[in-house]
Amino acid sequence: MELGATNAISEKRRIEMPSNERKMMNAALKKLVIPVLRQQGFKGSFPHFRRLNDNNIDLITFQFNNWGGSFIVELAACPKNGTTMSWGEDIPPNKVNAYHVDRRYRLGAVSLGSDGKWFHYEHAVTEEDYTTVAEEVLSLLKISDPSWISRLVE
């Protein structure tokens, strides 16, 4: 096998198979953050969540760095009937996620369009280290206010 083919295979495996660190981070988020999202009315499955409000749908997406070790949390809102992509594809309310919306706010950002907070876990060793990162996410989510996300992305 050529060296280039070997590199392509290892790159494909890196993309397809989450690292143990990523699995540990996912587990901490699922243990601490996701139950709170559910209590506040969010539906969906990791990493995409949505909550139907009176006037819109709140969207939360966890976006992991392709190279590992960190993630951001993107927040968006769309109309109650979902959204339509620029090329005309309709995304229904039960399938829409933050990636489908142009105006997204990154958790911890000072304003719409700024980079936001990257949550780093590359140096995490123990379960407690991953829990600390998940708790930091929770401390920044103000989801008990149903209009919080829509105000951020206005």
Domain chopping of the chain, boundaries: 18-152
Strand (E) or helix (H) holding 26: helix 20-39
Q: The pTM is what?
A: 0.85
Strand (E) or helix (H) holding 19: none
Output the pLDDT for position 1: 47
**Which segments in the chain show pLDDT lower than 70?**
1-18
Output the pLDDT for position 115: 87
3-state secondary structure of 95: coil
